Chain A
Amino acid sequence: MTRCVEISLIIPDNEAATAAETLRRLGFPGATLTRADLYRLEVDAQGEGPGLLEAIRRIEELFNPNKHALRERGTAPEPGEVWIHEIAHGETEPREGPVRIAGRTLPGVNGIERFTVWRLADADGAPATHETVTRAAETLLCNPAFQVASIR
């Protein structure tokens, strides 16, 4: 089973603000942009319950309740989103040992992929079109030399 956990800032996100300003200068008028970390987890029966989210909330390197919101979400990009994932160049051998997240193991988790989720909206808050998201990824948000962009 696949589960996706999204962690986003509830305080101002300077990185997203800088990226949005850059996109506006590059011809994306009115673009608003939010950003989140997303962990796609492959879990077995032990990882299917609510305890998994609580376990992640306890990992201070990932989640600070004063700064972050955490939610479980769908396993594919939504309209207006691009998911950026790094290609594992340079790792020719699979890592041995248990799967870790921020140095910790999680019960029932057998695989982890990390993404950065960028969510683009127009001036009215509506999700940006597929074409706009694709162009933003190609222009700024994704370097295809070592990253892959997933767009709905």
Chain B
Amino acid sequence: MVFPGTNSEEETQRACLAVGLEAELVHWSWDRARASAFDAYILPGGFAYEDRVRAGAIAAHDRLMQPVREAAAAGKPVLGICNGAQILLESGLVPALDGETARPQAAFAPNAPLGKYRSTHVYVRLAVPPETSVLTAGMEPHTVIPAWASHGEGRLAASAEVLERLEREWRVAFVYCDANGNALPDTVPNGSALGAAGLINGPGNVLALMPHPERDAWGYMHDGPAREAVRGDAAAMLAPSGGIALFRGLARALGLGV
């Protein structure tokens, strides 16, 4: 789903195609019927509507979100990445405690402590049983996925009551961690509550993930020693990296054997 200001649709589409999905870019000008004819939806990263009012706030009310709302209600997979994740929280589709989707219950708020934009390589660890979400059902427990955090508003913020329920009701799907899966305070790039990188709704078909797995989907996109290890080896550089796991999960959710 491409809103004015979305900027990560091409690489997101490429990751989908790489795992065997058919993926089409749906622009905000599409009519509703045409935009409703898909089995799953991805809201990619960017700065929809220039983050006016708040990151994701205007897009959350865009008419392009109606087919997304209908898909979410019908149990179809919906994945929001970075700005797409912000849109999902602003729209109320995640975490949707008690099934309530009319108002936001949480936000990806300005990073702490200084509210600054940050771009850095991160790892996220699956923090719920894989079967909790149709998007992670094929993953091993505690799967670690590399990604790039690239945002100024990625700090999970909510009331103490909501945060407690997010933990208790298995809504924190991914937490920031190190390469070995250790969730440590200094692995959180933005001050996010609960160290959360991604949240899901109750049925588990809607996932809001702040860092970009599509930006670490091939070897040459990786960071640190792993990237150095493939330098000069074209086949290794173009081989799938860990970030592709989430798109494989989406493909599995749609019945593709990948």
Contact = CB atoms under 8 A, between A and B. Distances in A.
Given A89-B109, A91-B112, A18 B58 contact: yes
A41 B144 CA distance: 46
Given A89-B155, A143-B104, A19 B58 contact: yes
B58 A86 contact: no
B158 A18 contact: no
Contacts of A145: 89, 104-107, 109, 157-159, 162
A89 B155 CA distance: 9
Contact of A15 (B52, B157, B159, B162): B52
B139 interface: no
Contacts of B58: 18-19, 22
Interface in A9-39: 14-15, 18-19, 22, 25-26
B113 A143 contact: no
Interface string B165-203: 000000000000000000000000001010000000000
Contacts of B50: 14-15, 18
Contact of A90 (B103, B105, B155): B155
Nearest to B55: A143
Contacts of A14: 50, 52
Contacts of A25: 61, 63
A143 B193 contact: no
Contact of A146 (B49, B52, B53, B107): B107
Contacts of A86: 109-110
Contacts of B155: 89-90
A141 B54 CA distance: 8
Contact of B157 (A26, A90, A141): A90
**Range class of the A interface residue count:** 10 to 19
B72 interface: no
Given A15-B52, A18-B49, A140-B61, A90 B107 contact: no
B57 interface: yes
Interface string A105-143: 000000000000000000000000000000000101101
Nearest to A13: B52
A144 interface: yes
A87 interface: yes
B61 A89 contact: no
Size bracket of the B interface: 20 to 34
Contact of A143 (B49, B52, B63, B90): B90
Nearest to B107: A145
B109 A144 contact: no
Contacts of A18: 49-50, 52-53, 58
Interface centre among B50, B105, B106, B109 (most CB of A within 10 A): B109
Given A14-B52, A90-B155, 13 more contacts: A19-B58, A22-B53, A25-B63, A89-B112, A89-B193, A90-B157, A140-B61, A143-B107, A144-B103, A145-B107, A145-B159, A146-B109, A146-B158
Interface of A: 14-15, 18-19, 22, 25-26, 86-87, 89-91, 138, 140-141, 143-146
10 contacts: A15-B52, A18-B49, A19-B52, A89-B109, A90-B191, A91-B112, A145-B106, A145-B109, A145-B157, A146-B157
